[in-house]
Amino acid sequence: MKVRNYDNEIYKRFREELPDILELRFGSALRPLIEGESPLFREINYLRNWIHAELGFILPKIRIRDWLALNPNEYVILINGFEVARYGEMGINDYMCINTTDMIKKEIAGTKTKDPAFDLDAIIITKGQKKKLKNLDT
């Protein structure tokens, strides 16, 4: 039986053409979130490790990059190259507080919105409001 010799370069190029399993794209105004050792990277690594430790599931690496085709304050989440969530109202200093415990009913100032991943009620708040929310929770 004759064994074929395949060119490894073909497989390397093929892999480069495949979409990333998980991808997060940011508009230009959100670029500081993905530069250097940002808190976003630390949070993503923490969540990947937590999911592995608690659920036994190894989450693939997430490709994170800026994308000039997006509006400046917009971000998109893709799975296997397909868009699964898009959000266009985040500022660089904003936080999205998802209403999982009826916190929004406590008359917190902010922009009411919907979480793009789960379509839950949410509110966009500032860093100062985030500290107040943490104090309300305790």
Same domain for 16 and 28? Answer: yes
SS3 assignment, position 7 = coil
For residue 79, the enclosing domain spans: 1-92
* Predicted pLDDT at 82: 92
Output the pLDDT for position 25: 94
Same domain, 78 and 67: yes
Those residues of the chain that have pLDDT short of 50 are none
Return the pLDDT at 20: 80
Q: How many domains does the chain have?
A: 2
Please say which residue of 56, 71, 92 terminates a domain: 92
pLDDT of residue 11: 54
Q: How far is residue 41's CA from residue 120's CA, in Å, rounded to a whole number? A: 24
Asked if 51 and 59 count as a contact pair (C-beta separation under 8 A), the reply is yes
pTM of the model: 0.68
Strands (E), 73-110: 75-79, 82-87, 95-98
Same domain (yes/no): 28, 79: yes
Distance CA 22, CA 60 (A): 7
**What pLDDT was estimated at residue 7?**
61
- Residues 81, 68, single domain; the answer is yes
Domain co-membership, 75 together with 127 = no
CA angle 15, 16, 22 (to 5 degrees): 85
